[in-house]
Amino acid sequence: MKFDGKVALVTGASRGIGRGIALELCARGADVVLVGRDRAALEETAQVCAGERPGAVAHVVVCDVADNAAIEACVAETLERFGRLDFAVANAGQSIDSLLMRLKPDVLDQLLNVNLKSAFYLCAAVSKPMMKQRSGSIVLVSSIVGLTGNAGQAAYAASKAGLLALAKSLAKELGSRNIRVNAVAPGLIETAMTEKLPDAAKEALVKQSALGRAGTPKDVGGVVSFLCSDAAAYVTGQTIVVDGGVVM
């Protein structure tokens, strides 16, 4: 899977899964556009990309992914700089746990804006240049709770489940233009977000895994790279679970 001459845009690329995805795409030859709100963390990702591959181009764009105009400007900047856009990964996300009876409306709005609506905005913005190219791959980063649900995470799970329906619907809309749209649903992945989980909770999740371990951002990055590659040229509208064998 070589991506020489290809351009990839990854939201939420400042850390965790987003950084892992960006590094994998970059290591395979793609120029990457790193999108997020934390410039310092994005610059750090860019430096790691440069260390992964000599001559790698990692362009930082500070952007609020929940702002449609900002996303459109981000994609326009990408096209102006690189002249094309081959892969788009909607990875930006946020998790706020709350029982439904205690869920505040502003928290619900925040989760839907960041986790779901931002993906709609990105897909709409990147579809236009990809349609002109008559090629492209879009990957939406969901979660296994979007498939299974989870007590205390009704809003988060619903926002992640929405991404799965978006991937299927958009795959049908864009397939005739040779644009593929898929989703990945990670399980427990070792990131700064999951470090906050109590040890007992993490141990319980690991025990549920057939592989008996937590995943890494690189594990997710490898699957995303496959979905972007020609090896997945006949794969669209699918959700690939990356959880070590929890959901079967």
Rounded to whole angstroms, what are the CA distances from 141 to 10, 102, 132, 167, 244? 10, 27, 25, 10, 16
Alpha helices in 53-188 (DSSP H): 68-82, 105-111, 118-133, 145-148, 154-174
With CA atoms as reference, report the closest residue to 65 among 44, 35, 95.
35
* Listed residue (59, 79, 65, 168) closest to 119, CA to CA: 65
143-160 burial, b if ≥16 CB within 10 A, otherwise e? bbbbbeeeeebbbbbbbb
Query: Cα–Cα distance between 198 and 209 in angstroms, integer?
Result: 17
Angle (CA) 172 32 30, round 5° = 80
Query: Do 164 and 142 contact (CB within 8 A), yes or no?
Result: yes
The residues with which 76 forms a beta bridge, in sequence order, are none
Q: Is 156 a catalytic residue?
A: yes
Which entry of 31, 119, 156, 179 is annotated as an active-site residue? 156
Active site residues: 156
